[in-house]
Amino acid sequence: MNQWRWGRQSLRRRLLTTVMVPLVLLLLLNSLITYVGALIYANYVHDKNLVDDTLTLVQLMASESPDDKVTRQAQFLLEYEPQGRNYFSVFSRKHGLIAGNASLQPPSGLFTDGNEPQLYNVHIEKHALRAASIQMIDPHDAGDQLEVTMAETLHDRHVEAQQILLLSIPAQALLIIAAFLLVWLGVRTGLRQLDPLTKQLANREHDLAPIGDHDVPVEILPLTRTIDGLFARLRGMLALHERFIADAAHQLRTPLAGLSVHAERAQGSSDPVTIGDALNHIQRLIHRANRTSSQLLALTRAQTTEHEAGDSEFLDLAQLTPELVGQRVHEALAANIDLGYDGPAGPLWIDGDRHRLQELLDNLIDNGLRYAGSGAVMTVMLTRDSDGICLAVEDNGPGVPPTWIERLGERFFRVPGSDEEGSGLGLAIVQRIAEWHNARVRYLSASSKGGLRVEIVFPPATPPTKHT
């Protein structure tokens, strides 16, 4: 179990790792800054002491006799350093080196007007030194000028900086550890804010209501809003399923009841005429039930408005429409209806789905074949206008009274007084498929003499240019 938990990604472990690595890097950077700061301070203190030692040597030179300006004891004390080595030199303009190390000579151009010691860096015997030099009038010979220099190695400066660093590292480490513990406690406490949300979701069974933004931390709002979007899609799918079940029960109740009645007629009679009539009714009811179930499935598919990759393609309605109309000519002839097509020769491109468009046009033609009446004329027209590409199906049948035109496209709506059997789903399917294509449906009277005209206006599309 523990191995399984450690093998999975942990938000807490990732957050702590994300914080711990910068903290360790911060400790290293702080140590470097501390060392540099300590070295700067050590240089400042040693430079001050070096200047003081140079002035002390000047005073010593003024107090010594002219024959022996620096005694051996004084020279020993000046050069003595437990952890390193000190250097000094006294140069006379007239006599050259008077005392000290001949290699320690101030560079030319160092001195300017003034009596302050000048600090500079120098190398002697592969040693890096810090030196302080000053010019003075020889107290025993006013016509001579002396250059007095004191220098020391940098060893003590680095040692003192390292000591300061070693003293500061434990305190900095404790501070980093304390900060890490506080971050760990904060992460642990912060993640506990997810417990109410987790418990709320765990207690749900069939509730797909949105989580909402109330009491949800800002950082996980994108997650909860994504979950709300998923819940919304699930509610839509469940609503479609429930609507399909309700529609199926509503539409199949009548033919199933009729099937039961006529089946009982056939079973309870020995008259061949009665039995034949009952079987004919049963056959018609079965055909109606089949058509109703097919239209219910088509309506459910049409109500799925989400577009997925590959659902649509560029289609030329001027080429597709006459092909689809031609497939229904034999049915129109059987119903004694003159079915024709009128459209342009040039291409009319839309972005759509071929199968949905075929279902749309089939339902429009079925509606005309069913209600236009024998001897009617039905025309499928295709035009381009300022609104887009218009696909229209027009007939010269009895039409629909203006009172009911606005209700065309509702599920299960059938114009009162119609003698033809139907499910009232054909135009509802047309409406849903048009919405899927971002098209608009218009229901109009074909002419003053009657008839119905249904127009679907599609937004035009520009297909990609083919390169040869």
> How does residue 303 score in pLDDT terms, banded at 50, 70 and 90?
low
Of 21 and 14, more confident: 21
Contacts of residue 367, Cβ cutoff 8 Å, sequence gap at least 6: 393, 426, 427, 454
Of 200 and 264, more confident: 264
* CA torsion angle 295 297 301 302 (round to 10): 20
Contacts of residue 137, Cβ cutoff 8 Å, sequence gap at least 6: 144, 145, 146
167-195: string of b/e by CB count within 10 Å (b at 16+)?
ebeeebeeebeeeeeebeeebeeeeeeee
CB 360 within 8 A of CB 322: no
pLDDT digits (tens, 9 = 90+) for 90-131: 888 888 888 878 888 888 777 766 678 888 888 887 788 888
- The CATH fold of domain 218-302: Helix Hairpins (1.10.287)
pLDDT tops 90 at residue 190: no
> How does residue 288 score in pLDDT terms, banded at 50, 70 and 90?
low
Q: Which residue has the tokens 């051996």?
A: 72
% of residues, the chain, pLDDT over 70? 75
Domain ranges of the chain: 12-162, 218-302, 313-458
Angle CA 454–460–461, to nearest 5 = 145
CATH of domain 12-162: 3.30.450
Which range has the worst mean pLDDT, 36-50, 339-353, 376-390, 399-413?
399-413
Provide DSSP, 283-315.
HHHHHHHHHHHHHHHHHHHHT-----TTS-EEE
Report d(CA 233, CA 212) in Å as an integer: 15
The helix (H) or strand (E) run that includes residue 83 is none
Asked if the 313-458 domain carries CATH number 3.50.50.60, the reply is no
Query: Which range in 136-140, 186-190, 196-200 is most confidently predicted, on average pLDDT?
Result: 136-140
The pLDDT value given to residue 467: 47
CB 381 within 8 A of CB 354: no
Which range has the worst mean pLDDT, 18-27, 73-82, 108-117?
73-82
pLDDT digits (tens, 9 = 90+) for 388-436: 899 999 988 888 887 877 888 776 666 665 655 556 677 888 888 888 8
Report d(CA 114, CA 134) in Å as an integer: 9
CB 350 within 8 A of CB 459: yes
pLDDT tops 70 at residue 291: no
Of 157, 154, 108, which Cα lies nearest the Cα of 133?
108
Cβ neighbours around 164 below 10 Å, total: 17
- What is the three-class DSSP state of 167? helix
> How does residue 4 score in pLDDT terms, banded at 50, 70 and 90?
very low
pLDDT tops 50 at residue 353: yes
Angle CA 344–345–347, to nearest 5 = 90
CA dihedral sign of residues 148, 153, 158, 164: negative
Cα–Cα distances in angstroms (integers) from residue 257 to residues 249, 276, 399, in the given order: 12, 18, 31
Of 212 and 64, more confident: 212
Tell me the whole-structure pTM to 2 decimals.
Answer: 0.45
Average pLDDT over residues 64-88: 56
The pLDDT value given to residue 309: 44
Contacts of residue 48, Cβ cutoff 8 Å, sequence gap at least 6: none
The pLDDT value given to residue 381: 92
